[in-house]
Structure 1
Amino acid sequence: MASSWPSDKEPRPGVPAPAWLGMDRETLAPASKLCAGRRGPPPTAEAVSGPRASVDFIQAESFTYPDFFKGYLLPNVPCVFSSAFTQDWGSRKSWVTREGKPNFDHLLGSFGDASVPVANCNVQEYNSNPKEHIPLREYISYWKDYIHGNYSSPKGCLYLKDWHLCRSFPDHQVYTTPVYFSSDWLNEYWDELAVDDYRFVYMGPKGSWTPFHADVFHSYSWSVNICGRKRWLLYPPGQEENLRDYHGNLPYDVTSSALSNIKVYPEYPKCCPAIEVIQEAGEMIFVPSGWHHQVYNLDDTISINHNWMNGCNVATMWRFLQTELCAVQQEIAEWRDTMDDWHQHCQVIMKSCTGIDYKEFYNFLKIIAEKRISLLEKVPATKPLENICSDNPGLDPHHAAFDLSRIADVLESLITNPDFQKLEIDELSLPPKDLFNHLKEIINAASL
């Protein structure tokens, strides 16, 4: 898999060197201005280009990273790439039979003893499905029996989800992250810490599905079908508000007839129809930031998915964290005056729910910023950014400068946030204001 940053270190096993991500000044200036001006929710498809009933299908081999950046990433709209973009992946050759079915023998021989997370699609647990870990060989045995039983089993419909295969098997080069999705701060950060990632493999029989949700931190996601087909139901940001019940809860299943009961779902008549996408084998879909979705496997399907984020949606992540903290504070508001370190307890609860708290979010911004600063400090002061080029893979200076401008904008908001100020900021390795001031110096020197 490709990571998205230049580094003096050798890539860790299983992570090939990243592709070159170029950005010209004509893209840099309007992109920085557009993102800096966003203070509300992420833009919707309708706000950008009017109502959409479908998504663009990308076929051209000449489609470039700037094309994707300006046409889909910045406006935050989905698209689907043809199978030609993934035809050389090892997994598309070895994980699939000639008939286009999962190659169970190969998977068993390569990963059979691995412990994998499996969800039961027939059981609702809040707005998700309960999971357990079992050996892959046990899951594949179940899957075969499920197929032979005419896609039925007393065990229910089991779906292998969120398997960190490449973290567990770094020597297996099963795919390479497409260049369009390589500016990935989320996995860049976790790779630096070497403790986690947001790269997953999904495997499931026909009929397995994922309930209605938005991705972690309201991040982007991309997904490629190694084999099989998926049906996606996509809702632009804001439409989910029309799907809440009178308690404010989102539905588990947006296809349920229960939503037509306006006494329970009073805003449902205002909701626009879902944007439906049928994703074929080999195709990859880009799901924008904050788009809620529900997904079905129409065949026996294997897919590779990443959650990711970068300068275009880091402000969305920050808004998401503020909303989550507010919800926690409301939940335990009655103990505000009697609980020692109430604000810190709120952070602990938020981290247990979302996976991150305000201090770690700052550390996340700091690590990405330090990498971008390191790159720009190598640029000779006598040369403008547009005259700098490189034969090495990674981010070009324009892209690094854009990233720093986005970090500075969000960091300024974080520093002035009252809840952040109540934390023990002195414990942080680099004072946030010092980092912010250094960022402004670098950005001014880059003439952004």
Structure 2
Amino acid sequence: MFGCRSLLKQTRKRKRRKPDKFNSKRRKQNPQLTEEQQDFATEDGFSLKGSSPTQNYGVQPLGNLYFSSSPHNSRNTGLGNIQTLTDELVLDILGFLGGTHLGILSTVSKSFYVFCNHEPLWRNLVLENCNDGFLFNGSWKSTFVAAYNPAFDDSKTGSLGFKVKDFYSDYLFQSWLCANLEMKHEWLERDNIIRRKGISVDEFVSDFETPNKPVLLEGCLDNWPAMKIWNRDYLVKVCDDALFSVGPVQMKLKDFFAYADQAQEERPLYLFDPKFANKVPKLGQDYEVPVYFNEDLFSVLGNERPDYRWIIIGPAGSGSSFHIDPNSTSAWNAVVKGSKKWVLFPPDVIPPGVYPSLDGAEVACPVSITEWFMNFYESTKTWKKKPIECVCKAGEVIFVPNGWWHLVINLEDSFAITQNFVSRRNLLNVLDFLKKPNACTLVSGTRDRVNLHDKFKKAIEASFPGIIDELAKKAEKRKAELEKPSFWDSVKDSNSGGFKFSF
């Protein structure tokens, strides 16, 4: 897991694109939405969630300023001499302040009032200071105040806040918009993954694992007890007071569900815990590894193996932005409840809007998953190598080959189990990855990053003598066959560019 400081550092490296044009002339009337929400519905097919919107303090997209009868932008006048700084930089600076100073600064001007009440600032303060979990109190600011002064009644201060007139900011508006948008139908309709049911292990290996191709497997979870008994009541009861990893904090499951029911934000937290089966052994007994993934060579390390299995619980909108699974492993992900939208790109195709560092240690990407769909998804339709996409529903398992970029977003409250594994088809790749010069920054899920390669190789050679040499010889043979010229290449006259036949 990331420490909170490194988590905030990663967040600050991400770039937000300016939102596309917004037009309120054609409102999509929805009786569940307020008039203000309907103003932000767009003619491009976007719609806002019917539940109560988060407060945006009257912030409007910058383009609206050009249609305003007044040229005044209170964002600039309220910031004074620092108005030339970008909104992102202003928020980065405010991120160094504590809650007390943010509260004081918010009284200086209308502009500082909006900036200092930006929910992610208060979210970071809660996650930095409440390592043992928190009780969500409707908003991150209220949660922070309640944690430090439980007797304070913030309802008297106006929990909905004030609306500031003539405040224009693309950055702040898009943050609010991404927190309140529904997923568009066209973002979900493309389903081009190969689906299989009841295939043999040999077919899986030859058709998908060896060629490193994703596949969605149906019918693998029919015998899982989890499919029948996992629901909120069961999980809360069986987990009791166990603490699970939720971002950089530890939380009881009942407290996490309370957060998930109230929060509506751009990047919802989700529970992602690698030690769940140790904390609550019953959870580990409620599922079994599908037969296609039984071979897991990292198991030779015993208790020293890197983290490899996780329980994943999250509300709609939570998920993982584009990444490649750790240590060059492959993975499977099984949905027990709910559904997930997957977008996958092969190893040689970097997704649009994603910028990995040269050594692969860091990845800069859009602030949120919704923002990626808003700004980049449409462009993939014209790509030669289109992404593999699907909606994985309860009872289905997706195989994610090693090296594939993938993004996942929960479309509803979801429970899932995922495991990373190393098989013979991928062993050489993993060993090569673990011995890279910068392995100490790339390897994850273990305290001993530097020596993992040597430990793993030694354990493999002890458990499976000769397997590494055997796989290396097969790999060389396959490489030679691929490089071997075809018949027509062999008879082609390289000098004349024509063909030369010998009879």
For 1:242 and 1:298, how far apart are their aligned partners in 2? 22
Q: 1:156 to 1:270 in 2, by over 3 A?
A: closer
CA RMSD of aligned residues (A): 3.5
For 1:354 and 1:306, how far apart are their aligned partners in 2? 15
Match of 1:115 among 213, 231, 243: 243
Deviation at 1:222, TM superposition (A): 0.2
Q: 1:307 to 1:91 in 2, by over 3 A?
A: same
Q: 1:76 to 1:310 in 2, by over 3 A?
A: same
For 2:216 and 2:448, how far apart are their aligned partners in 1? 30
Q: TM-score, normalised by structure 2?
A: 0.49
Amino acid at match of 1:361: H
For 1:247 and 1:156, how far apart are their aligned partners in 2? 23
CA deviations over 1:327-362 (Å, ceiling 9, x no partner): x4xxxxxxxxxxxxxxxxxx6556579865453212
Within 5 A, what are the aligned runs for 1:385-400?
Answer: none
CA deviations over 1:207-242 (Å, ceiling 9, x no partner): 112111000012101000001000000001110177
Within 5 A, what are the aligned runs for 1:289-300?
Answer: 289-300=402-413
Indicate conservation of the 8 Å contact 1:311/1:407, yes or no: no
CA deviations over 1:375-409 (Å, ceiling 9, x no partner): xxxxxxxxxxxxxxxxxxxxxxxxxx766623788
The reply on whether 1:65 has 2:206 as its aligned counterpart is: no
Deviation at 1:194, TM superposition (A): 5.6
Amino acid at match of 1:134: M
Which residue of 2 is the match for residue 181 of structure 1? 293
For 2:398 and 2:336, how far apart are their aligned partners in 1? 12
Deviation at 1:57, TM superposition (A): 0.8
Deviation at 1:312, TM superposition (A): 1.1
Which residue of 2 is the match for residue 143 of structure 1? 260
SS at match of 2:464: helix
Within 5 A, what are the aligned runs for 1:127-276?
Answer: 131-146=248-263, 152=264, 157-172=268-283, 173-186=285-298, 188-190=299-301, 192-193=302-303, 197-240=307-350, 244-245=354-355, 250-253=363-366, 255=372, 272-276=385-389
Structure 2 residue ranges without an equivalent (≥5) = 1-189, 476-503
Indicate conservation of the 8 Å contact 1:118/1:133, yes or no: yes
Which residue of 2 is the match for residue 343 of structure 1? none
Q: 1:115 to 1:183 in 2, by over 3 A?
A: same
Indicate conservation of the 8 Å contact 2:354/2:365, yes or no: no
Amino acid at match of 1:238: D
Indicate conservation of the 8 Å contact 2:357/2:363, yes or no: no
Indicate conservation of the 8 Å contact 1:242/1:270, yes or no: no
Decide which structure has the larger Cα Rg and report it: 2
Q: Greater RCO between the two (CA within 8 Å, min separation 6)?
A: 1
Match of 2:470 among 374, 383, 405: 405
Which residue of 1 is the match for residue 458 of structure 2? 366
Indicate conservation of the 8 Å contact 2:324/2:403, yes or no: yes
The reply on whether 1:282 has 2:395 as its aligned counterpart is: yes
For 2:204 and 2:237, how far apart are their aligned partners in 1? 38
Indicate conservation of the 8 Å contact 2:344/2:387, yes or no: yes
Indicate conservation of the 8 Å contact 1:162/1:200, yes or no: yes
Q: 1:240 to 1:315 in 2, by over 3 A?
A: farther
Match of 1:56 among 194, 200, 205: 194
Indicate conservation of the 8 Å contact 1:220/1:289, yes or no: yes
Q: 1:268 to 1:66 in 2, by over 3 A?
A: closer
For 1:92 and 1:256, how far apart are their aligned partners in 2? 31
SS at match of 1:68: helix
The reply on whether 1:76 has 2:212 as its aligned counterpart is: yes
Deviation at 1:372, TM superposition (A): 2.3
For 1:89 and 1:199, how far apart are their aligned partners in 2? 16
Which residue of 2 is the match for residue 396 of structure 1? none
Q: Percent identity?
A: 26
SS at match of 2:270: strand
Count the aligned residue pairs: 278
Structure 1 residue ranges without an equivalent (≥5) = 1-51, 96-102, 120-130, 147-151, 329-346, 374-400, 411-448
Within 5 A, what are the aligned runs for 1:405-444?
Answer: 405-406=470-471
Amino acid at match of 1:174: D
